[in-house]
Amino acid sequence: MSKIGYDDTPFLPNAPYRVHDGTRPQPPVVTPGAYGEPPSDAVVLFDGKDLSGWVSARDGGEAKWKVENGYMEVVPGTGDIETKEHFGDCQLHVEWMASVEATGESQGRSNSGVFLMGRYEIQVLDCYHNPTYPDGTTAAIYGQYPPLVNACRPPGEWQTYDIIWEAPRFDGETLVKPAYVTVLFNGIVVHHRTELIGPTTHRAILPYQPHPPTGPLRLQDHGDPVRFRNIWYRPLKGYDE
């Protein structure tokens, strides 16, 4: 291979390389997934077959949601479930579907949730022609920030969340960096590196509480039979360093 790059260009201010430096490490090769498939370096959390990677968030026992036809479905009353895998900074992909039977209104229509590190909820809700309080609408950072737009598809259609998560950092009891999240809902940016106030909750504001640098992905049983499929993440190593 002929020589690539240049060795007579200025050094960059933030890296030990020159502009167009041919010795700079090549980005690792990742094979993008075929449509609807994870990329080659993804950690698959749910592949549509079983809940072997999941436990009950209530007691750590068996996850009792239903699995069929390549998706999992909330079994109301069995409680939230969470991954055995714990992780921090990541790119997360989740697909979900609201029940075709659009019953209920406001927070009562296909409510669920994607909880990063088990604490920080991106709301799952059917807000297709279903108004609710804006900081609790679909893809809201629950109780903190409405999404920039309502990009809901009708119930019965699969919808996607692509989330870039920067975990908060603690030094002992002290918060040294808050959490930041970017969310694309059905391919549309609805949060752009938004700083979280703290953990999410209902009707209250919670301060950050120190927690480990990794945590599970938790999915919410809010009493509605919401479906999920094709859940994977890619750790963002060195994202903060």
Residue nearest to Mg ion (CB): 113
Residue 108, helix vs strand vs coil: helix
**What is the token pair recorded at 67?**
């699995």
Give residues in contact with Mg ion (CB under 5 A). 111, 113, 220
In the bound state with Mg ion, the residue whose beta carbon lies nearer, of 90 and 124, is: 124
Residues sharing a CB contact under 8 Å with residue 95, sequence separation 6 or more, in sequence order: 158, 159, 160, 161, 228, 229, 230, 231
- Report in angstroms how near the CB of residue 124 gets to Mg ion at its nearest: 6
- Report in angstroms how near the CB of residue 103 gets to Mg ion at its nearest: 17
The span from the CA of 93 to the CA of 38, in Å, is: 9
- Report in angstroms how near the CB of residue 36 gets to Mg ion at its nearest: 25
- Report in angstroms how near the CB of residue 159 gets to Mg ion at its nearest: 14
Residue type, position 95, single letter? E
Closest CA to 109 of 131, 132, 125, 123: 125
Find out whether 214 and 115 touch, Cβ atoms under 8 Å.
no
In the bound state with Mg ion, the residue whose beta carbon lies nearer, of 4 and 206, is: 206
In the bound state with Mg ion, the residue whose beta carbon lies nearer, of 24 and 107, is: 107
Residue 191 β-bridge partners: 183
- Report in angstroms how near the CB of residue 56 gets to Mg ion at its nearest: 17
In the bound state with Mg ion, the residue whose beta carbon lies nearer, of 99 and 220, is: 220
In the bound state with Mg ion, the residue whose beta carbon lies nearer, of 43 and 78, is: 78
In the bound state with Mg ion, the residue whose beta carbon lies nearer, of 89 and 221, is: 221
In the bound state with Mg ion, the residue whose beta carbon lies nearer, of 87 and 142, is: 142
Find out whether 71 and 97 touch, Cβ atoms under 8 Å.
yes
Find out whether 78 and 64 touch, Cβ atoms under 8 Å.
yes
Give one word for 107, left, alpha or beta, with left for phi > 0 and alpha for psi -120 to 50.
Answer: alpha
- Report in angstroms how near the CB of residue 196 gets to Mg ion at its nearest: 16
Angle at CA of residue 52, ends 47 and 56, nearest 5°: 115
Phi, psi at 32, each rounded to 5°: -60, 145
- Report in angstroms how near the CB of residue 93 gets to Mg ion at its nearest: 19
